[in-house]
Amino acid sequence: EVQLVQSGSEVKKPGESLKISCEASGYRFSTYWIGWVRQMPGKGLEWMGIIYPGDSDIRYSPSFQGQVTISADKSINTAYLQWSSLKASDSAMYYCVRRSATSDPFDPWGQGTLVTVSS
Amino acid sequence: YVLTQPPSVSVAPGKTARITCGGNNFGSRSVHWYQQKPGQAPILVIYYDTDRASRIPERFSGYNSGNTATLIISRVEAGDEADYYCQVWNSGSDHPLFGGGTKLTVL
């Protein structure tokens, strides 16, 4: 079974750094894209960016370029989303998603990681 | 490019729900639909306009015509209450775009 399992909830202070993870299983990690989607409280879905672990090709949404860093470690089938300096406005649920190829849907989705940034 | 969904749709149990997703020159783009129940992650329900994802009941179907794609849920059940999002890929940029979501309420 294809699964994406994300790291647990985080509570951080503004200015702190954070790296959340998404561990994949049930398929060949290097040959599928892994993306990240943000959902702010009570709001819709926003695409942040995507990485192809096979060659580390990364594409960011213009809205998130420079605000976050996406990476992956093929040796442990894990993708990451990180912030160097969190803001209160980064408080949201973050989902990792898998995509096969251009134009394909996101399937499956990780269970989500809730990030709370508060002083 | 903007995808427009109605904020809410209400339907009685056993009836048919239709959730629309519109955009300019829509017919050239394939649409994917996701269901998000309260407190859960989204799941794929319909992909490439009409294909039903695995483990999704046959009551769910979709089509894309002109400038509007439609998710149809037949014989609606209480368990279908959820937010539904459409999604397309922007041609040329490899950037996905989500609709704003539609909250389906079963009366």
Q: Tens of pLDDT along B51-96?
A: 999 999 999 999 998 789 999 999 999 999 999 999 998 877 778 9
Residue contact B95–A109, C-beta within 8 A: no
Q: Which residue's entry shows tokens 């213009």?
A: A62
Residue B91 has a pLDDT of 72
Residue contact A47–B32, C-beta within 8 A: no
Residues of chain A in contact with residue B47, where contact means CB-CB under 8 angstroms, are 104-105, 107
Q: Tens of pLDDT along B7-49?
A: 999 999 999 999 999 977 666 788 999 999 999 999 999 999 9
In the stretch 26-65 of chain B, residues with CB closer than 8 A to chain A read 30, 32, 34, 41-44, 47-48, 53
Please report, rounded to a whole number, the percentage of residues in chain A having pLDDT higher than 90: 97
Residues of chain A in contact with residue B85, where contact means CB-CB under 8 angstroms, are 44-45
DSSP string, A22-85: EEEESS-GGGSEEEEEEE-TT--EEEEEEEETTTTEEEE-TTTTTT-EEEEEGGGTEEEEEESS
Mean pLDDT of A55-65: 94
A61 and chain B in contact, CB less than 8 A: yes
Task: Identify the sign of the CA torsion A57, B26, B86, A10.
Answer: positive
B67 and chain A in contact, CB less than 8 A: no
Mean pLDDT of A78-93: 98
Q: Is residue A103's pLDDT more than 90?
A: no
Burial status of residue B46 (CB atoms within 10 A of its CB: 0-12, 13-18, 19 or more)? buried
Query: Which among B92, B51, B33 has a CA at the least distance from the CA of A45?
Result: B33
Q: What is the bridge-based pairing of β-strands B102-106 and B8-11?
A: parallel
Residue contact B96–A102, C-beta within 8 A: no
Mean pLDDT of A63-88: 97
Residue B26 has a pLDDT of 66
A60 and chain B in contact, CB less than 8 A: no
Considering only CB atoms, A110 lies closest to which of B34, B41, B44, namely B41
A44 and chain B in contact, CB less than 8 A: yes
Q: Angle at the Cα of B35 (from A5 to A114), degrees rounded to 5?
A: 40
A110 and chain B in contact, CB less than 8 A: yes
Residue contact B42–A109, C-beta within 8 A: yes
Considering only CB atoms, B30 lies closest to which of A103, A106, A111, namely A103
